[in-house]
């Protein structure tokens, strides 16, 4: 090739190379210009929030990485007002009326794709299914198993686990060793849900999490909380975990469910005739043509995956706050002692008896209010008609949500002492005042997507809290920062509370 040909070739290469650079730069500037145009013309252009949140979802990812999403969410609303931007198309609202519209029973909004990441990319479950209509179809055959009537059949399972828990507390009272309260409450709640679901405890209260199933579920929740902000990456990330053999719960939990399901179907595992667990009830519905094997597998999986964290967090909060606020503990003990003296409280406590103890129920509600298990906003997608609420028009496709923490600490709803643990707020004589609290109570969600296992959680708390406070005292140990009660949040806000167990002082 001649020298001149080399020159022309180099010139052509530089020209093409320069073209690529200019093309990329032009595309980048076009995207920036488009974003600026859309931002300036958006009806939400004046919604305040952190500067970076207007441009990227990385800001919210950083908030989750710091484990402080709930208190940060509250602080944002204190700084910016009732509507706050969390990401370019994602907003948090601090309004009871807005919460009713977003989560309510009538014309509620579909979930956002954030929830896809709490399940396999190619198969939706009761929690990760975003469409209300499809969710209702899945939920319908399962709902009767969580009804108030069904709860009575689960009491023997709870009684068995309560007895074991009290034995463990007795052991700690004898040896004087410090106890991780939240961990023990998680072991308890997990054993209960195992008994109720498949008639088999995991044995966690005695042996700890040797199988690693709690860790598996924790990993799945952490993955969902982070990947939910970038759901378009979920398919690729989930496939990568399978290739790298990383366990996020996508396989281990269904394998566990399948093991117990097959044992029951093949007659290898039968319950005593006086007991009926979820699995028995679901198989009966299958025979009657009211449910399918999909529904059976779904109910078992959902119970085991989500059936312990909310209860464990609420129990830890209730016990810790009772002993941090001695007056509330005294009031509760007086109620329990009076009921026992009147012959209205057996040992073990029945659910029906516990429901007639107003202060106990107020303690449970207040624990659930002051420390909701879920620390992230409950995000929904605005439908094709758009939505006018909280002073703004949200265009179709906008993601809007309410955080239970934000609503529960809203002083215009729960009073100027919303940050204080005060069960008495739930004992208001004024029915309308109580109705306002109930409408804005979001610990189990609200509306059509209310947590299906809510009643089971309330059953466990109602029965075990009286058993504990009647017999034991807890000395709460401060951590290195001088805190008696702290927590970290990804999806769940898991508290850290260390205690020394003492037998109750009667003096």
Annotated binding-site residue numbers for heme: 451
The answer to whether 349 and 466 are in contact (CB under 8 A) is: yes
The answer to whether 194 and 301 are in contact (CB under 8 A) is: no
Distance, CA of 435 to CA of 426 (rounded, Å): 10
Angstrom CA distances, 193 to 39, 98, 154, 161, 220, stand at 48, 34, 10, 10, 18
Q: If DSSP states are collapsed to H, E and C, what string results for 172-183?
A: HHHHCCEEEHHH
Tell which residue, 241, 205, 209, has the closest CA to residue 223: 241
The answer to whether 375 and 402 are in contact (CB under 8 A) is: no
Tell which residue, 104, 124, 139, 173, has the closest CA to residue 378: 104
Per-residue buried b or exposed e for 219-258, using 16+ beta carbons within 10 Å of the residue's own CB: bbbebbbbbbbbbeebeebbeebeeeeeebbbebbbebbe
What is the length of the chain? 507
Angstrom CA distances, 458 to 125, 297, 443, stand at 23, 24, 12
CA 310 to chain centre: 6
DSSP 140: T
Distance, CA of 192 to CA of 461 (rounded, Å): 11
Where does residue 351 fall: left (phi above 0), alpha (psi -120 to 50 degrees), or beta otherwise?
alpha
Q: If DSSP states are collapsed to H, E and C, what string results for 226-250?
A: HHCCCHHHHHHHHHHHHHCCCCCCC
What stretch of H or E contains 441? none
Would you list which residues are annotated within the binding site? 451
The answer to whether 144 and 135 are in contact (CB under 8 A) is: no
Per DSSP bridges, beta strands 498-503 and 178-180 are antiparallel
The neighbour count for residue 167, using CB atoms within 10 Å, is 11
């Amino acid at each position: 090739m001649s020298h001149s040909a080399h020159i022309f070739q180099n010139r052509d290469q530089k020209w093409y190379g320069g073209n690529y650079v200019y093309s990329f730069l032009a595309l980048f500037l076009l995207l920036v210009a488009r974003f600026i145009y859309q931002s300036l013309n958006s009806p939400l252009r004046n919604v305040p929030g952190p500067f970076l949140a207007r441009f990227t979802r990385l800001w919210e990812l950083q908030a989750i990485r710091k484990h402080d999403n709930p208190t940060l969410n509250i602080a944002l609303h204190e700084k910016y007002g009732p509507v706050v931007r969390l990401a370019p198309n994602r907003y948090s609202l601090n309004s009871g009326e807005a919460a009713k519209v977003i989560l309510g029973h009538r014309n509620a909004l579909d979930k956002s794709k954030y929830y896809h990441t709490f399940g396999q990319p190619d198969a939706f479950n009761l929690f990760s299914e975003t469409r209300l209509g499809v969710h209702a179809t899945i939920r319908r055959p399962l709902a009767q198993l969580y009804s108030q009537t069904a709860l009575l059949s689960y009491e023997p399972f709870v009684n068995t686990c309560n007895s074991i828990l009290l034995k463990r507390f007795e052991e700690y009272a004898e040896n004087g060793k410090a106890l991780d309260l939240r961990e023990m409450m998680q072991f308890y709640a997990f054993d209960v849900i195992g008994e109720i679901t498949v008639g088999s405890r995991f044995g966690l209260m005695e042996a700890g999490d040797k199988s690693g199933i709690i860790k598996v579920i924790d990993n799945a929740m952490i993955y969902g909380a982070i990947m939910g902000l970038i759901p378009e990456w979920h398919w690729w990330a989930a496939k990568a975990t399978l290739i790298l053999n990383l366990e996020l719960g996508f396989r281990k939990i269904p394998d566990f469910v399948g093991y117990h399901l097959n044992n029951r179907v093949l007659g290898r595992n039968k319950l005593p005739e006086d007991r009926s667990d979820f699995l028995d009830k679901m198989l009966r519905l299958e025979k009657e043509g009211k449910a399918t094997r999909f529904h059976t597998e779904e109910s078992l999986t959902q119970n085991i995956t989500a059936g312990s964290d909310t209860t464990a967090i609420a129990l830890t909060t209730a016990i810790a706050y009772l002993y941090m606020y001695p007056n509330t503990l005294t009031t509760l003990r007086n109620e329990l002692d009076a009921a026992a003296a009147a012959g209205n409280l057996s040992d073990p406590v029945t659910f029906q008896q516990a429901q007639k103890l107003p202060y106990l129920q107020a303690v449970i509600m207040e624990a659930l209010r002051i420390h909701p298990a879920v620390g992230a906003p409950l995000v929904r997608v605005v439908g094709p008609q758009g939505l006018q609420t909280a002073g703004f028009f949200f265009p179709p496709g906008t993601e809007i949500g309410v955080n239970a923490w934000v609503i529960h600490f809203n002083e215009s709803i729960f009073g100027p002492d919303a940050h204080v643990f005060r069960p008495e707020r739930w004992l208001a004589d004024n029915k309308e005042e109580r109705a306002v609290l109930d409408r804005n109570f979001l610990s189990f969600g609200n509306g059509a997507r209310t947590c299906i296992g809510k009643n089971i959680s309330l059953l466990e708390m109602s029965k075990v809290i009286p058993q504990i406070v009647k017999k034991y005292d807890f000395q709460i140990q401060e951590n290195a920062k001088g805190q008696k009660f702290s927590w970290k949040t990804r999806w769940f806000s898991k508290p850290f509370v260390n205690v020394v167990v003492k037998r109750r002082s009667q003096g």
